[in-house]
Chain A
Amino acid sequence: MPQNLSYQQRRAARLDDPAFEYLRNPRTRRRLAYSLIALLVIEATTFALASILHVVLFVAIVAVLACVMVMLLGALKASTRGIEELSPDVLDERQSQLRGEIFKQSYWVLATAALVSCTLIALMGQPWWELPDALPFTVIALMLQVIVTIPTVVTALRVRV
Protein backbone atom coordinates (compact mmCIF):
# COMPACT_ATOMS: atom_id res chain seq x y z
CA MET A 1 0.00 0.00 0.00
CA PRO A 2 1.54 3.37 -0.94
CA GLN A 3 2.48 5.57 2.03
CA ASN A 4 1.06 8.80 0.58
CA LEU A 5 -2.55 7.59 0.77
CA SER A 6 -4.87 9.40 3.14
CA TYR A 7 -6.28 7.70 6.22
CA GLN A 8 -9.64 7.29 4.46
CA GLN A 9 -8.04 5.68 1.41
CA ARG A 10 -6.09 3.24 3.60
CA ARG A 11 -9.23 2.44 5.58
CA ALA A 12 -11.22 1.90 2.36
CA ALA A 13 -8.52 -0.43 1.02
CA ARG A 14 -8.46 -2.40 4.27
CA LEU A 15 -12.26 -2.78 4.39
CA ASP A 16 -12.28 -3.82 0.72
CA ASP A 17 -9.68 -6.53 1.35
CA PRO A 18 -10.54 -9.67 -0.69
CA ALA A 19 -9.57 -11.74 2.39
CA PHE A 20 -12.98 -10.80 3.86
CA GLU A 21 -14.91 -11.90 0.78
CA TYR A 22 -16.43 -14.83 2.70
CA LEU A 23 -18.29 -12.29 4.88
CA ARG A 24 -19.77 -10.45 1.91
CA ASN A 25 -23.03 -12.22 1.31
CA PRO A 26 -26.51 -11.29 2.59
CA ARG A 27 -26.83 -14.37 4.83
CA THR A 28 -23.56 -13.79 6.71
CA ARG A 29 -24.28 -10.07 6.96
CA ARG A 30 -27.71 -10.79 8.47
CA ARG A 31 -26.23 -13.26 10.97
CA LEU A 32 -23.57 -10.78 12.04
CA ALA A 33 -26.14 -7.99 12.42
CA TYR A 34 -28.49 -10.15 14.51
CA SER A 35 -25.53 -11.26 16.64
CA LEU A 36 -24.66 -7.64 17.29
CA ILE A 37 -28.25 -6.82 18.26
CA ALA A 38 -28.28 -9.87 20.59
CA LEU A 39 -25.01 -8.69 22.11
CA LEU A 40 -26.50 -5.26 22.84
CA VAL A 41 -29.47 -6.94 24.55
CA ILE A 42 -27.11 -9.11 26.66
CA GLU A 43 -25.12 -6.01 27.54
CA ALA A 44 -28.26 -4.13 28.59
CA THR A 45 -29.33 -7.08 30.76
CA THR A 46 -25.85 -7.22 32.35
CA PHE A 47 -25.98 -3.50 33.18
CA ALA A 48 -29.51 -3.83 34.54
CA LEU A 49 -28.39 -6.70 36.79
CA ALA A 50 -25.17 -4.94 37.85
CA SER A 51 -26.39 -4.36 41.41
CA ILE A 52 -26.87 -8.07 42.11
CA LEU A 53 -23.68 -9.26 40.36
CA HIS A 54 -20.29 -9.50 42.04
CA VAL A 55 -17.96 -6.72 40.89
CA VAL A 56 -15.35 -9.12 39.46
CA LEU A 57 -17.98 -11.11 37.59
CA PHE A 58 -19.55 -7.90 36.24
CA VAL A 59 -16.20 -6.55 35.02
CA ALA A 60 -15.32 -9.92 33.45
CA ILE A 61 -18.65 -10.13 31.60
CA VAL A 62 -18.34 -6.53 30.37
CA ALA A 63 -14.75 -7.17 29.19
CA VAL A 64 -15.79 -10.28 27.24
CA LEU A 65 -18.79 -8.46 25.74
CA ALA A 66 -16.57 -5.54 24.71
CA CYS A 67 -14.09 -7.88 22.96
CA VAL A 68 -16.88 -9.75 21.15
CA MET A 69 -18.47 -6.44 20.13
CA VAL A 70 -15.22 -5.11 18.66
CA MET A 71 -14.76 -8.32 16.64
CA LEU A 72 -18.39 -8.40 15.50
CA LEU A 73 -18.39 -4.75 14.48
CA GLY A 74 -15.11 -5.21 12.61
CA ALA A 75 -16.49 -8.23 10.75
CA LEU A 76 -19.69 -6.34 9.94
CA LYS A 77 -17.78 -3.35 8.59
CA ALA A 78 -15.64 -5.65 6.45
CA SER A 79 -18.80 -7.35 5.18
CA THR A 80 -20.31 -4.01 4.10
CA ARG A 81 -16.95 -2.67 2.85
CA GLY A 82 -17.45 0.13 5.36
CA ILE A 83 -19.41 2.31 2.96
CA GLU A 84 -21.45 3.64 5.89
CA GLU A 85 -18.39 5.06 7.67
CA LEU A 86 -16.11 6.09 4.82
CA SER A 87 -15.94 9.63 3.48
CA PRO A 88 -17.75 10.20 0.15
CA ASP A 89 -14.33 11.19 -1.26
CA VAL A 90 -13.26 7.55 -1.35
CA LEU A 91 -16.62 6.16 -2.49
CA ASP A 92 -17.91 5.96 -6.03
CA GLU A 93 -21.27 7.42 -7.12
CA ARG A 94 -23.28 4.23 -6.41
CA GLN A 95 -21.70 3.78 -2.99
CA SER A 96 -22.36 7.45 -2.15
CA GLN A 97 -26.03 6.98 -3.05
CA LEU A 98 -26.21 3.91 -0.81
CA ARG A 99 -24.52 5.84 1.98
CA GLY A 100 -27.26 8.49 1.78
CA GLU A 101 -29.94 5.80 1.89
CA ILE A 102 -28.25 4.16 4.90
CA PHE A 103 -28.15 7.43 6.84
CA LYS A 104 -31.78 8.19 6.00
CA GLN A 105 -32.88 4.82 7.42
CA SER A 106 -30.51 5.15 10.39
CA TYR A 107 -32.03 8.50 11.34
CA TRP A 108 -35.48 6.90 11.43
CA VAL A 109 -34.28 4.09 13.69
CA LEU A 110 -32.39 6.51 15.93
CA ALA A 111 -35.32 8.89 16.17
CA THR A 112 -37.55 6.01 17.30
CA ALA A 113 -34.92 4.79 19.78
CA ALA A 114 -34.46 8.33 21.14
CA LEU A 115 -38.21 8.73 21.57
CA VAL A 116 -38.46 5.46 23.50
CA SER A 117 -35.43 6.41 25.64
CA CYS A 118 -36.82 9.87 26.44
CA THR A 119 -40.16 8.33 27.40
CA LEU A 120 -38.36 5.83 29.67
CA ILE A 121 -36.26 8.56 31.29
CA ALA A 122 -39.36 10.71 31.85
CA LEU A 123 -41.20 7.79 33.43
CA MET A 124 -38.23 7.05 35.70
CA GLY A 125 -38.85 10.30 37.54
CA GLN A 126 -42.39 9.27 38.50
CA PRO A 127 -42.80 8.21 42.14
CA TRP A 128 -45.26 5.39 41.31
CA TRP A 129 -42.73 3.49 39.17
CA GLU A 130 -39.77 2.09 41.05
CA LEU A 131 -37.04 1.15 38.64
CA PRO A 132 -33.56 -0.24 39.25
CA ASP A 133 -30.98 2.48 39.92
CA ALA A 134 -28.83 1.19 37.07
CA LEU A 135 -31.53 1.79 34.46
CA PRO A 136 -30.65 5.41 33.53
CA PHE A 137 -27.01 4.38 33.06
CA THR A 138 -28.10 1.31 31.04
CA VAL A 139 -30.28 3.42 28.75
CA ILE A 140 -27.52 5.99 28.18
CA ALA A 141 -24.80 3.35 27.62
CA LEU A 142 -27.02 1.42 25.23
CA MET A 143 -28.04 4.55 23.30
CA LEU A 144 -24.41 5.52 22.80
CA GLN A 145 -23.63 2.09 21.40
CA VAL A 146 -26.73 2.10 19.21
CA ILE A 147 -25.66 5.48 17.78
CA VAL A 148 -22.23 4.04 16.93
CA THR A 149 -23.46 0.76 15.46
CA ILE A 150 -26.79 1.62 13.82
CA PRO A 151 -25.46 2.65 10.36
CA THR A 152 -23.52 -0.61 10.09
CA VAL A 153 -26.49 -2.71 11.22
CA VAL A 154 -28.83 -0.90 8.80
CA THR A 155 -26.34 -1.44 5.97
CA ALA A 156 -26.11 -5.15 6.75
CA LEU A 157 -29.86 -5.68 7.05
CA ARG A 158 -31.40 -3.30 4.53
CA VAL A 159 -28.98 -2.33 1.79
CA ARG A 160 -27.52 -4.36 -1.07
CA VAL A 161 -23.86 -3.48 -0.88
Chain B
Amino acid sequence: MVKQKQDEQPQFYTRLPVLRAERGVSRKDIAEAVGVHYQTIGYLERGEYSPSLVLALRIADFLRLPLDAVFSLQPFAAMSDQIYPRTATTDRTITEE
Protein backbone atom coordinates (compact mmCIF):
# COMPACT_ATOMS: atom_id res chain seq x y z
CA MET B 1 0.00 0.00 0.00
CA VAL B 2 1.62 3.19 -1.18
CA LYS B 3 0.44 6.72 -0.77
CA GLN B 4 0.74 9.51 -3.29
CA LYS B 5 3.27 12.18 -2.25
CA GLN B 6 2.11 15.42 -3.76
CA ASP B 7 1.76 18.55 -1.67
CA GLU B 8 2.00 16.22 1.36
CA GLN B 9 -1.55 15.02 0.62
CA PRO B 10 -2.01 11.34 -0.21
CA GLN B 11 -4.13 11.21 -3.36
CA PHE B 12 -4.56 7.50 -3.78
CA TYR B 13 -3.41 4.14 -2.46
CA THR B 14 -2.57 1.10 -4.51
CA ARG B 15 -2.11 -2.59 -3.90
CA LEU B 16 -0.35 -3.04 -7.21
CA PRO B 17 3.07 -4.04 -5.78
CA VAL B 18 1.45 -6.74 -3.60
CA LEU B 19 -0.75 -8.04 -6.40
CA ARG B 20 2.16 -8.07 -8.84
CA ALA B 21 4.40 -9.98 -6.41
CA GLU B 22 1.58 -12.39 -5.59
CA ARG B 23 1.06 -13.24 -9.26
CA GLY B 24 4.73 -13.18 -10.22
CA VAL B 25 4.17 -10.54 -12.88
CA SER B 26 6.94 -8.11 -13.76
CA ARG B 27 6.48 -4.37 -14.25
CA LYS B 28 7.39 -4.84 -17.87
CA ASP B 29 4.61 -7.45 -18.33
CA ILE B 30 1.97 -5.13 -16.91
CA ALA B 31 3.38 -2.16 -18.82
CA GLU B 32 3.22 -4.00 -22.14
CA ALA B 33 -0.30 -5.25 -21.41
CA VAL B 34 -1.68 -1.81 -20.57
CA GLY B 35 0.40 0.15 -23.10
CA VAL B 36 2.68 2.30 -20.96
CA HIS B 37 6.41 2.45 -20.25
CA TYR B 38 7.56 0.07 -17.49
CA GLN B 39 8.93 3.08 -15.57
CA THR B 40 5.39 4.45 -15.32
CA ILE B 41 4.32 1.33 -13.44
CA GLY B 42 7.20 1.92 -11.01
CA TYR B 43 6.19 5.55 -10.45
CA LEU B 44 2.61 4.44 -9.96
CA GLU B 45 3.59 1.78 -7.40
CA ARG B 46 5.63 4.30 -5.44
CA GLY B 47 2.69 6.71 -5.46
CA GLU B 48 4.65 9.29 -7.43
CA TYR B 49 2.22 9.35 -10.32
CA SER B 50 -1.58 9.34 -10.34
CA PRO B 51 -2.89 7.24 -13.22
CA SER B 52 -5.69 8.32 -15.51
CA LEU B 53 -8.99 6.52 -15.10
CA VAL B 54 -8.38 4.64 -18.36
CA LEU B 55 -4.97 3.40 -17.20
CA ALA B 56 -6.33 2.40 -13.79
CA LEU B 57 -9.17 0.47 -15.47
CA ARG B 58 -6.74 -1.24 -17.84
CA ILE B 59 -4.54 -2.34 -14.93
CA ALA B 60 -7.54 -3.64 -12.98
CA ASP B 61 -8.73 -5.44 -16.11
CA PHE B 62 -5.30 -7.01 -16.64
CA LEU B 63 -5.33 -8.28 -13.04
CA ARG B 64 -8.98 -9.38 -13.44
CA LEU B 65 -9.97 -7.51 -10.33
CA PRO B 66 -12.43 -4.69 -9.63
CA LEU B 67 -10.87 -1.23 -9.73
CA ASP B 68 -11.35 -0.67 -5.99
CA ALA B 69 -9.33 -3.82 -5.23
CA VAL B 70 -6.29 -2.26 -6.86
CA PHE B 71 -6.72 1.47 -6.20
CA SER B 72 -8.39 3.28 -3.35
CA LEU B 73 -8.75 6.77 -1.94
CA GLN B 74 -8.53 5.28 1.57
CA PRO B 75 -5.58 3.26 2.91
CA PHE B 76 -6.01 -0.49 2.38
CA ALA B 77 -6.18 -2.77 5.39
CA ALA B 78 -3.20 -5.13 5.62
CA MET B 79 -3.84 -8.34 3.68
CA SER B 80 -2.75 -10.44 6.67
CA ASP B 81 -5.44 -8.78 8.79
CA GLN B 82 -8.05 -9.54 6.15
CA ILE B 83 -7.00 -13.17 5.73
CA TYR B 84 -6.42 -13.84 9.43
CA PRO B 85 -8.73 -11.40 11.24
CA ARG B 86 -7.60 -10.63 14.76
CA THR B 87 -9.75 -11.96 17.54
CA ALA B 88 -9.72 -11.13 21.23
CA THR B 89 -7.78 -14.39 21.85
CA THR B 90 -5.01 -13.62 19.38
CA ASP B 91 -4.74 -10.04 20.63
CA ARG B 92 -4.38 -11.33 24.23
CA THR B 93 -1.67 -13.80 23.13
CA ILE B 94 0.29 -11.04 21.40
CA THR B 95 0.04 -8.81 24.48
CA GLU B 96 1.20 -11.61 26.79
CA GLU B 97 4.22 -12.34 24.59
Binding site for B on A (CB under 8 A): 16, 92-95, 160
Binding site for A on B (CB under 8 A): 35-37, 39-40, 43, 48-49, 51-52, 55
Beyond A92-B35, A94-B40, 5 extra complex contacts between A and B, CB < 8 Å = A92-B37, A93-B40, A94-B37, A94-B39, A95-B37
Most chain A CB within 10 A, of B39, B51, B52, is at B39
Interface of B is mostly: loop
Nearest CB on A from B31, distance (A): 8
Residue ID in chain A nearest B44 by CB atoms? A94
**Closest 4 pairs between A and B when the two form their complex, measured CB to CB:** A92-B36, A94-B40, A92-B37, A94-B49
Nearest CB on A from B58, distance (A): 11
Interfacial chain B residues near A92, Cβ < 8 Å: 35-37, 40
| Interchain residue pairs with CB less than 8 A apart (15) | A16-B37, A92-B35, A92-B36, A92-B37, A92-B40, A93-B36, A93-B52, A93-B55, A94-B37, A94-B39, A94-B40, A94-B43, A94-B49, A95-B40, A160-B48
Residue ID in chain A nearest B35 by CB atoms? A92
- Counted as pairs of residues, one from A and one from B, with CB atoms less than 8 Å apart, the total is 19
Nearest CB on A from B51, distance (A): 8
Bound complex: CA A97 to CA B7 (Å):
18
Bound complex: CA A94 to CA B37 (Å):
9
Bound complex: CA A102 to CA B43 (Å):
18
Bound complex: CA A62 to CA B49 (Å):
43
Interfacial chain A residues near B43, Cβ < 8 Å: 94
Bound complex: CA A93 to CA B39 (Å):
12
Interfacial chain B residues near A16, Cβ < 8 Å: 37
Residue ID in chain B nearest A160 by CB atoms? B48
Nearest CB on B from A21, distance (A): 12
Nearest CB on B from A142, distance (A): 34
Most chain B CB within 10 A, of A16, A94, A160, is at A94
Interfacial chain A residues near B48, Cβ < 8 Å: 160
Nearest CB on A from B60, distance (A): 16
Bound complex: CA A94 to CA B55 (Å):
10
